[in-house]
Amino acid sequence: MTLPHFADAQTFRAWRSQPQQWLPIALDIARGHGVDTGAPHVFSTGTNLVVGLGEKLILKIFPPLLHAQFVSERGSLMQLKGRLHLPIPEIVAEGMRDGWPHLIITRLSGTLGSEIWPSLPEAQKERVLRQIGETIAAVQRAPLGPLAQIEPRWSDFMRTQMLGCRARHTRLGLAPKFLAGLDDLLRDAATLIPMDAPPVILIGEYIPENFLLTSRNGDWSLAGLFDFGDVRAGWRDYDLLGPSAFMSAGRPGRVRSLLEGFGYEKPDFALKRRLMALMLLHQASDLNSHICIEGWQDKVNDLVELQELIWAE
């Protein structure tokens, strides 16, 4: 049994969507590490091949075309081990099969954030967002170590994103009234976003699909963080974008909890402007799909009003 070669991500995704084609190989890899494969569970979401092995372990297999994600995941788990108050997976074993690297990592306990977040009372949403802000700050206090070598470097990444920003958001259907302010925002971004400041670890996706929650006496709290495949090194504010877009919903209490947990006081215009620029420049930026404020396109007339809506005080 061998893992095939794929020239592009689309072909790989189609193959990944049919686990019968690769699960026997995954289980063979697990057995090679002496792991019990009696109760496998295929995770259908995500980017790579991911199989739960019982209640305690997870096997992640990375295709060669996504080797950078393996480097990011492995490096992050090693660098952050023992440095956070929050559980993250630990590496149990690693190896290579047909040019595909893999990791066997511990499986965290808790309930996926995306399953619980919509039903949480408002006070508990603020509580969790404060904890997320605190967690982002804790991750960023960890030394970069070998993660400093991840390419592209922050300044190169930002400049590339700036060059392609208008074309990207035009293609994604951002309304003309927002596109009209893009040049002004990008001009401001060149001075608002530090390009050469000391970089920190950026996870890139602090979103409900990537963390676990647990309840104690009816109070839900952050219980685990996973998925480090998109880590890069750069300016710290970048990691506020996921929770700002997907979770804060423009509600002042949530915004305040997130930013205070992170270490910011009341956001000023410059911070909001910088965050708005970073949101448009994010690797996965798509405002129409990612801003979770109902009817936001009709509530504001330009990007300045939009930043006031997202980071409401």
How would you write the pLDDT of the chain (313 residues) with one tens digit per residue? Answer: 899 999 999 999 999 999 999 999 999 999 999 999 988 999 988 899 999 999 999 999 999 999 999 999 999 999 999 999 999 999 999 999 999 999 999 999 999 999 999 999 999 999 999 999 999 999 999 999 999 999 999 999 999 999 999 999 999 999 999 999 999 999 999 999 999 999 999 998 899 999 999 999 989 999 999 999 999 999 999 999 999 999 999 999 999 999 999 999 989 999 999 999 999 999 999 999 999 999 999 999 999 999 999 999 9
Query: What's the pLDDT score for residue 88?
Result: 97
Q: How crowded is residue 12: how many other Cβ atoms within 10 Å of its Cβ?
A: 20
Tell me how far apart the alpha carbons of residues 233 and 231 are, in angstroms, rounded to a whole number.
7
Q: What are the φ/ψ torsions at residue 61 (nearest 5 degrees)?
A: -115, 130
Query: What's the pLDDT score for residue 30?
Result: 97
C-alpha distance from residue 59 to each of 51, 56, 79, 266 (Å): 5, 11, 20, 43
User: Count of residues for the chain?
Assistant: 313
Tell me how far apart the alpha carbons of residues 173 and 300 are, in angstroms, rounded to a whole number.
16
Number of H helices and number of E strands within the chain? 14, 10
C-alpha distance from residue 216 to each of 125, 179, 211 (Å): 15, 46, 17
Query: What's the pLDDT score for residue 45?
Result: 82
Tell me how far apart the alpha carbons of residues 92 and 98 are, in angstroms, rounded to a whole number.
20
* DSSP designation for 120: S
CA 151 distance to own-chain centroid? 17
In sequence order, the 6+-apart residues with CB closer than 8 A to the CB of 146 are: 75, 79
C-alpha distance from residue 231 to each of 73, 125, 151, 206 (Å): 7, 25, 10, 11
C-alpha distance from residue 56 to each of 37, 91, 105, 159, 271 (Å): 11, 12, 9, 42, 42
In sequence order, the 6+-apart residues with CB closer than 8 A to the CB of 305 are: 299
Contact at 8 Å (CB) between 135 and 224?
no
Query: What's the pLDDT score for residue 266?
Result: 86
